[in-house]
Structure formats: C-alpha cells, structure tokens
Amino acid sequence: VVGHPKYQESKRIAIFLSMPDEIQTEEIIEDIFKQGKECFIPRYKPRSNHMDMLKLSSAEDISSLTLTSWNILQPSDDDSAREEALAGGGLDLIFMPGLGFDKKGNRLGRGKGYYDTYLERCMKHPSGKPYTIALAFREQICESVPVAENDIQVDEILYEDC
C-alpha cells in the first residue's frame, strides 16, 4: 500500500479505522503521518447515510476518539475543532473498506451507503472525486456482488497477491 504510486503522490488521504474483520490500517495511518501527509477518518451519523471525513492530528490522536455503538472509533459529535476534508482542500485518495468486491470494482459495504453518498459530495467539490482504493482479503473477491444504481465503483482493489 505505502509503495503504491497513488499513495505516494497523495497529500490528503482518508482511511477507515479497521474493525476486527477488516484489513488492519494502523500501520498505514502511522506511515501517513511519517510521510507528512494529512490523514482523515470517517465520522458516521447514526440513523442516516451521512458521513464526514475529519482530520486526525497524529496517529496517537486515535486514542482520544470515542467508541460508537457499532464498536468503531470516531470523533465525537460535539468535536467541531477538526477540519472536515470537503470544507478544506478535498481529498486525493480514499482507502475504502467493504465486505465483498468483484473485479469490475463493485463494492459490497455494510448497507447504509455512507461511502457512496460521501463520494457524491466529493464530486461536487472543486478538487473533484478522489482516487479510491479498496483494501481487501483475497477471500473477499467474488465473481459479482449486488449493485444498486447509486453505488459508485472503486478505482482499484488491493488484496494480497494482486
């Protein structure tokens, strides 16, 4: 991941904080800061499909986050001091989670449409749609995954031995 050309050229990167059943992103986050890049993480709004990408100040900043009912660490709702990526310079790259992927770039998420809705907002930002890379285990690559009309394909899927 850290040797990928899109990662190397990106300055503003959004990445998910992994759940136990996802590719672990901790080392990537540490590298983002080591390389002097800006790191943004999701904050999901419950009972909606709205998500923002908020800036982390350091890898250690993760320990200050609150645990949601989904067991995901994220900035609290009353944390208004953090920059939201689209309120600033947008994003160059988004690393995306998922439950399953096909080789056409279709992604099966957890069903709320957070990333698809966020990418639609990115397309309206002056910096445009960021490059999207899904991080997957080989076992998550399928012949096909169910697709809805508002689903946005990922640009690339990285998995071991790909």
Q: Annotated binding site for substrate, which residues?
A: 17, 22
Q: Could you list the residues known to form a binding site for ATP, using ranges.
A: 107-115
* CA distances from residue 117 to 34, 50, 65, 158 in whole angstroms, order as listed: 30, 7, 23, 22
Instruction: Enumerate the H helices of the chain as residue ranges.
Output: 5-9, 26-34, 114-124
Spell 92-129 as b/e; 16+ CB within 10 A means b.
bbbbbbbebbbeeebbbbeebbbbbbbbebbeebeeeb
- C-alpha 80/C-alpha 39 separation (Å) is 17
Under 8 Å between Cβ of 13 and 91 = yes
Residue with tokens 């001091």: 81
Q: Could you list the residues known to form a binding site, using ranges.
A: 17, 22, 107-115
Rg (C-alpha) for the chain, rounded Å, is 15
